[in-house]
Amino acid sequence: MKKLVAPLIGVLLLSGCGGGVSSPNQNKFISGSGAAVYIKATDRKLAPTISGTTITGESFSSPSNKVIVLNVWASWCSPCRAEAPTLQALSQKFTKVQFIGVLTRDNITAARSFIERFKLTYPTITDDSVLASFRGSLPPNAIPTTLIIDSSGYVAARISGAVTVGLLTDLINKVSGDPRHA
């Protein structure tokens, strides 16, 4: 019995130690694995209208007839910091695709610093209630999550976790090239 007690106490003590610096916002988020889901055109659900106030105070409404890459992020999220340069670079490469950020569980001051640090040029909306509107389709399920919405307004793909150049490029190309009901 004594042989079991010491390892059990060790496990309990270690389980209380978690990843260093934390934020109150970090207590209730799920980090994604980078897994991607692609949905055939015939099986897609209509995305909600994506609109709100941007971090710069402007009104934003998603354009129609354009592929949209919607990225859910927070400044305190390590994978979000890791993927920010990739998202910015791809937003410059894919000029016919609308990139949109959705700030969640964060404050505006920290988010502005994040945007300046990574030189993000695409809009970020600050009302994360838009995320609840994706229920019934393919909702954002982690921080970060990136959704790709086809040019007809249907949710076509989701990456749960940090994006990579190769994966996001492949999905953008696939969604941009597939006909609505192929």
What pLDDT digit, counting tens, does each position of 164-180 carry? Answer: 999 999 999 999 986 65
What pLDDT digit, counting tens, does each position of 72-85 carry? Answer: 999 999 999 999 99
pLDDT over 60 at 139, yes or no: yes
Task: Give the architecture (CATH level 2) of 25-177.
Answer: 3-Layer(aba) Sandwich (3.40)
What pLDDT digit, counting tens, does each position of 74-126 carry? Answer: 999 999 999 999 999 999 999 999 999 999 989 999 999 999 999 999 999 99
Q: Using an 8 Å Cβ cutoff, are 131 and 104 in contact?
A: yes
User: By percentage, how much of the chain surpasses pLDDT 90?
Assistant: 66
Alpha-carbon distances of 12 from 8, 9, 31, 154, rounded to whole Å: 6, 5, 23, 46
What pLDDT digit, counting tens, does each position of 124-137 carry? Answer: 999 888 887 887 66
The domain ranges of the chain are 25-177
pLDDT over 70 at 182, yes or no: no
More confident site: 172 or 7: 172
Q: Residue 89 contacts by C-beta under 8 Å, 6 or more apart in sequence?
A: 165
